[in-house]
Amino acid sequence: MSNITEDILKGKIFIYPTDTIYGIGCNALNELSVEKIKEIKGRDRNKPLSIIAPGIDWVKKHCIVDVNLKKYLPGPYTIILKKKDPKFLIHVSNVDTIGIRIPNSKFSKNVAEAGVPFITTSVNFSGEPFAKSVKEVAKEILTKVDRVIDGGVLGGSPSTLVIGGKERFR
């Protein structure tokens, strides 16, 4: 098991590259770490967060799948799916749906190895521009995380939403 995977399981907070932009996240099962991310971002506590799923089978186990997952995952998409149990990950998404990602990135392999869902949200203050490089991340955010994985400059924009099988660009 890699050090990154161990730190995911311990609930450490990461800044990491996805296949689109830089994200901030943690083990979604660790409620204290999830709350800390909302605090760091200055984000409304009730606004749902999305997760990187550890794999397609995990998604099928926890969500009602109404799309062809293999068409979108791994890839630059966030698929909004209904949770089988509305109380599942309620501290991440307090509604009956949850945003699911599996970025086409090296970091997703660490999440898969850890076998846990991982918070994925843009690494910026709520309402501010997203980061395409670690240099663009506010110092106030950089000092509050446990690990920064620098994947160079990313060329993306936020992931495309897929709701009810329809793509919605942000």
pLDDT tens column, 111-161: 999 999 999 999 999 889 999 999 999 999 999 999 999 999 998 888 999
Q: Is the pLDDT of residue 83 over 90?
A: yes
* Average confidence (pLDDT) over 63-86: 96
Domain boundaries along the sequence of the chain = 3-168
Residue length of the chain: 170
End-to-end CA distance of the chain: 36
Written as one letter, the residue type at 89 is L
Q: CB within 8 A of 30, min separation 6: which ones? A: 11
d(CA 168, CA 165): 10
Per-residue pLDDT reduced to its tens digit, 13-40: 999 999 999 999 999 999 999 999 999 9
d(CA 116, CA 139): 28
Q: Are strands 14-17 and 22-25 parallel, antiparallel or unpaired?
A: antiparallel
Task: Give the model's pLDDT for residue 30.
Answer: 98
Closest residue by Cα to residue 23 from 108, 114, 112: 108
* Average confidence (pLDDT) over 60-86: 96
Architecture field, domain 3-168 = Alpha-Beta Complex (3.90)
For residue 165, what pLDDT band results from cuts at 50, 70 and 90? Answer: confident
Task: Give the model's pLDDT for residue 32.
Answer: 97
d(CA 4, CA 101): 19
- pTM (2 decimals)? 0.95
